[in-house]
Structure 1
Amino acid sequence: MEIKSNGTRIHVTQRGSGELALVFLHYYGGSSRTWDGVASELSDRYRTVATDHRGWGDSEAPADGYGIADLAADAEGVIEALGLQRYVLVGHSMGGKVAQLIASRRPSGLEGLVLVSPSPPSPMLLSDEQRATLAGAYQSRESVEFVIDHVLTARSLDAARREQVIEDSLRGAPQAKAAWPNVAMREDITAAMASIDAPTMVISGELDQVDPVATLQAQLLPRIPHAAMHVLPGTGHLSPLEAPAEVAQLIARFVAAIEGESVVLALQDMTP
């Protein structure tokens, strides 16, 4: 389905039903399809909502507006349009940085935050050469395949998922491809992190080369002191595609714990 949000047409994929929704935000180069394997494991219990960021997948690609605040406003508009009363935000990589900013605003209805190999809130400092390499990583089939094999993954993707990554990476609008390394990656949202009060889980790939475990331990966890971290053995940056069942299982446990806590709090409120 298509939702007009923040002046931009955003493509949204929904599955399942239920009072609690899981809202998925994808990585730089991905699309809502990135979450298919994870969502299929969870949609029998929860409503799942996955968006295409502007400039990616089937969403509109305006000429500008690709900062973290813009992507956050797009997602917030989708959440409002769908009337989600209770939801957990699940953000991967770039989508993880977007999710951090949304959570820092303590929106009504946000019950939990899951950050999957998230880009940290601090600026990622690259040399001009590194930035140019990243900006050009999704320009050809060959360049995408090189990045898949040497940067993004530690576990081999099956043929269908590999082809999906290639298609999604190539399909991104030029302005969206340029904006992450040149704008959003360099943004500093660390000051907002102290405002996050939702239960938070961080999922990291043991062999992640993009946002390594050590980087998250240094740049993210100290800023969200109540966050719990889980490391997936033998996994790279694309854990939603490399290990969808394991990611889904961690999310399911996290949400179950949140819902259990909600029941306890409700019972406490009812106690005279």
Structure 2
Amino acid sequence: MAEDLSQVTRISYTDQGQGEPALLFLPGWCGSRKVFDQLAATTAPRLRSLSLDWRGHGQSESPRGDFGSIDLVEDALSVIESSGAAHVVPVALSHAGWVAIELRRRLGSRISHLVFLDWIILEAPPPFLEVLQSLQDPSHWHQTRQQLFDMWLHGLDTPELVQYVREDMGSYGFDMWARAGREISAAYAQAGSPLQALTHLAPAVPVLHLYAQPEDPAYLAAQQAFAANHPWFSVSKLAARSHFPTLEVADQIAAAIEQFVVQEPAA
């Protein structure tokens, strides 16, 4: 069942299943909640599953002016309030993770766990920061976006994946991609890295990072080393090949999330 919230900017979301904690699926910038269709359908029989479209995305209303990450936080809060969910587990794709962290800061114990999917959870590498800057350049953004699409789809022919990247993400123009570049750059500049931001949450919250890319063993090793010193953090490498594993291995992700949320929250 899809609902629209009555507010200045109407946020559209899907509500499936029953029970708590409810999963709150948060898509990345420049993409709709369709990226979670398979995953939400898989989790809904056992866990209430909410998935939203950010303002200016998908079926949600587009605001008249500019907006940023803080406004996305308000979108998520409005969905939580409208749904009536008392306890929520954000499941954030990529840089929607910054929104999930802020939800924990604001709602405290109502956010019992955090799940991140395919995020640059360490410090952002310089080439990635350069991409974010290029997305904000009117003369280079389109070429940069095309390079991202080509990289994300290289060697892959999954119809759902190709359609999501080419058609869904491809439907957003310069304003949205530039906004994404600006907001993601600002988040890394302020926090250093998602892992650093998470260490400042008090009390700590159980965190699970499920990812498919990059393949670099050093990326996994660095996260495992962090987990060894921070028992509230865990990481798992998925058997998928794209930056959007929800469109490849929804069953695997659903099983990992369901097992994770039965853990007792950190004291």
If the length of structure 1 is used for normalisation, what is the TM-score?
0.77
* Counterpart code for 2:235: M
> Following the alignment from structure 1 to structure 2, what is the Cα–Cα distance between the partners of residues 122 and 70?
24
Shift of 1:215: 9.9
Shift of 1:75: 0.6
Mapping of 1:86-101 within 5 angstroms? 86-101=87-102
User: Residue 10 of structure 2 aligns to a residue in which SS?
Assistant: strand
Supply the distance in 2 between the matched residues of 1:208 and 1:10 (Cα, whole angstroms): 35
- Aligned pairs for 1:88-167 (under 5 A) are 88-120=89-121, 125=126, 130-131=131-132, 133-134=134-135, 139=142, 144=146, 147-150=148-151, 152-153=152-153, 156-167=156-167
Between the aligned residues of both structures, percent identity stands at 25
Query: What's 1:2 paired with?
Result: 4
> Counterparts in 2 of 1:3-152, with a 5 A limit?
3-4=5-6, 7-62=8-63, 63-66=65-68, 68-120=69-121, 125=126, 130-131=131-132, 133-134=134-135, 139=142, 144=146, 147-150=148-151, 152=152
Change (3 A) 1:108 1:218: closer
**Does the Cα contact within 8 Å between 1:37 and 1:244 map onto a contact in 2?**
yes
- Does the aligned pair in 1 maintain the 2:135–2:142 contact within 8 Å? no
Native 8 Å contact 1:204 1:213 kept in 2: no
Aligned to 1:201: 208
Q: Structure 1, unaligned stretches of length 5 or more?
A: 266-272
Give the counterpart letter for 2:105 in structure 1. S
User: Quick check: 1:230 aligned with 2:236?
Assistant: yes
Asked whether the 8 Å contact 1:157–1:242 carries over to 2, the reply is: no
Once the two structures are TM-superposed, the CA of residue 253 in structure 1 deviates from its matched residue by 1.4
Q: How many residues align?
A: 253
Query: Which residue matches 1:241?
Result: 247
Contact kept, 8 Å, 1:153 with 1:238, in 2: the verdict is no
CA distance in 1, matches of 2:10, 2:92: 20
Structure 1 residue 106 displacement after superposition: 4.3
Helix, strand or coil for the counterpart of 1:90?
strand
User: For the structure 1 residues 179 and 220, does the alpha-carbon distance in structure 2 shift closer, same or farther, using more than 3 Å as the test?
Assistant: farther
Please give the per-residue CA displacement for 1:47-75, whole angstroms capped at 9, x wherever unaligned. 11011122221222222121x22211221
Give the TM-score of the pair, scaled to structure 2: 0.78
Is the alpha carbon distance of 1:133 and 1:198 closer, same or farther for their aligned partners in structure 2, counting shifts above 3 Å? same
| CA distance 1:9–1:110, change in 2 (3 Å) | same
- Give the aligned partner of residue 176 of structure 1: 176
Structure 2: which 5+ residue stretches go unaligned?
Answer: none
- Between the aligned partners of 1:32 and 1:110, the Cα distance in structure 2 is 21
Q: CA deviation at 1:198?
A: 2.2
User: Contact 1:23 / 1:90 at 8 angstroms: preserved in 2?
Assistant: yes
Would the aligned equivalents of 1:56 and 1:173 in 2 still touch at CA under 8 Å?
no
> Alpha carbon RMSD of aligned pairs, Å?
3.5
In the aligned structure 1, how far is the partner of 2:161 from the partner of 2:207?
28
Please state whether the residue corresponding to 1:111 is helix, strand or coil.
coil
